[in-house]
Structure 1
């Protein structure tokens, strides 16, 4: 059975709302505008860092095959379209100076592209580092010399650095496999690594970023998906870095398997914050120009449920969600 899209749910809610026909028409036009929004994310990292595993766990898709073996699967940037979410998957780095130089030129070219409004095509650049290795020289060179200098305005908000394979950061030691979380010694190690990455990038570029660490939950080809750790935190940072009017795009693509989102550092309720962020962008975008005042929360009843079937699995049911947001 085909799942109702977020846009269909919005249209149904608007048509059933107790508001004027004029406001309904304005809101329906706004929904069509939201439906045309696209989010473009470019993803890069050294070969073996877990780009494909991350994409597949977060967005529940197998369009990006998880690499097996030693040879990179793609030599050029690959484009994957998941509804209005567009992922640009760059080749793995570290395949030789000549290949890396070619990849760098392709990245710079893509970063220079603009959309139909003249804005940068790439909304967010996600750099994935391998938490299981100390050799990050190639990645630092790419971040400091290629990515940041070519991001243009607002560069601090358009790059996210994430350290994957946190469970392998100390060769698998100090990871509690039953609880699927690091013990305190490993937490200290990972936080030191985050600070080191942040400081090295700032010293080289003057740009302040806040790296995070996580584990995508490695999946053998044809095997079961391992439980990720801090995947909900990674999604939260991705959504937060996305322009507000575009965040609705994620609602149709987020993995609905609760196991993907249940384990995190619990410093913040990432699922709740992400859901609020998406929901607020939906209501703001759909209500522009419509004189509906405080009625906006009540109009989108099924939207909360639609979003709840995705990231809502992190925080439980959706009862009272709308009331909690709008008083």
Structure 2
């Protein structure tokens, strides 16, 4: 298992700094704590929703270690380990009543699993809906009857709903294939679908959720995968992840910039993701003493800021703009 470059650079910057040894020890202890953090992300959805294409587009699956759940009830849940990011690829519903019951039991069992610290093993559940389907009854059954009732009191903080296949939501009409984005009529349709999903979940469970829409991108043998709004999806995943665990995504997202190039213009998701990573570094590194200023001096304009831009920037956009945004964000703290 290789060590994330960002942690190496943080340690090197601390080592070469002029701060006192006591502060260095505190910083090294905090960096070590960051390195130990694991994020467990469950991804599920009804049959045909595009889970596999989403996982392959978003994450660096070439280095994944593959396994399955050890509990007989969860044997069909695939486990992918990418350093300290662990993906649980769970079968959804829609394969027949008997299999639906089996899959539901497996999902419930995994959601109720506890880690060594007594906390829920699964940090976040991403539920993918098929944007090209008119009948989302199976998906609502999965969300309202299986997932949310087993997430506990903080269900709102542990669930994300994403509507995939936005490009075929109106049978392929009103999609700008050249620029890979929805035209205004399709945007309106997708926004209404988002609101409908939000309302249905709220009515059934009382939980407020803000769904998003995207396209993982379909490809034939002679075509390249071309997602839309994948950077927005990653942004929402990162923002919903506990702060101390967010750096698990830095080295484990796809380094293919084609995956991240097309998105709506509501926010600069590249910059927002970098801010989340920087926020994690700053807040967790400051723990254990009044050392905020030292972190600013050490990490603010040094190699760590560049490392974030280089490693994560390769996944979500132009490296120069990422480095610039990271530098600006660091300097804004002090």
TM norm structure 2: 0.89
Q: 1:174 maps to what in 2?
A: 174
Query: Among 321, 326, 332, which residue is 1:321 paired with?
Result: 326
Summarize deviations over 1:7-49 as a string: whole Å, max 9, x none: 2122112111221111111111111111111000111012221
Aligned to 2:239: 240
Pair 1:309-2:314 in alignment: no
Looking at structure 2, the residues matched to 175 and 11 of structure 1 have their Cα atoms a distance apart, in angstroms, of 47
The corresponding residue for 2:291 is: 292
- Structure 1 SS opposite 2:247: helix
**What CA distance in whole angstroms lies between the structure 2 residues aligned with 1:202 and 1:161?**
13
Per the alignment, residue 255 of structure 2 pairs with 256
Question: Which consecutive unaligned segments of at least 5 residues does structure 2 have?
Answer: 65-73
Quickly say closer, same or farther: Cα 1:310–1:133, change in 2 above 3 A.
farther
1:285 deviates by: 1.3
Change (3 A) 1:4 1:121: closer
TM-score relative to the length of structure 1 = 0.91
2:112 and 2:89 map into 1 onto residues whose CA distance is 16
CA distance in 2: counterparts of 1:40 and 1:219, whole angstroms: 28
Q: Which residue of 2 aligns with 1:99?
A: 99
For 1:44, the equivalent position in structure 2 comes to 44
CA 1:320–1:129 in 2, change beyond 3 Å: closer, same or farther? closer
Offset of 1:323 from its aligned partner?
A: 4.0
Equivalent position SS for 1:249: helix
In structure 2, what is the Cα distance between the partners aligned to 1:320 and 1:110? Answer: 38
- How do 1:11-30 residues align onto structure 2 when only pairs under 5 Å count? 11-30=11-30
Cα distance in 2 between the residues matched to 1:155 and 1:92:
19
Displacement of 1:292: 2.5
In structure 1, the gaps of 5 or more residues are 65-73
Q: Distance in 2 between matches of 1:3 and 1:30?
A: 16
Q: Is the 8 A contact 1:298 1:322 kept in 2?
A: no
Q: Distance in 2 between matches of 1:319 and 1:137?
A: 45
Structure of higher RCO (CA pairs closer than 8 Å, 6+ residues apart): 1
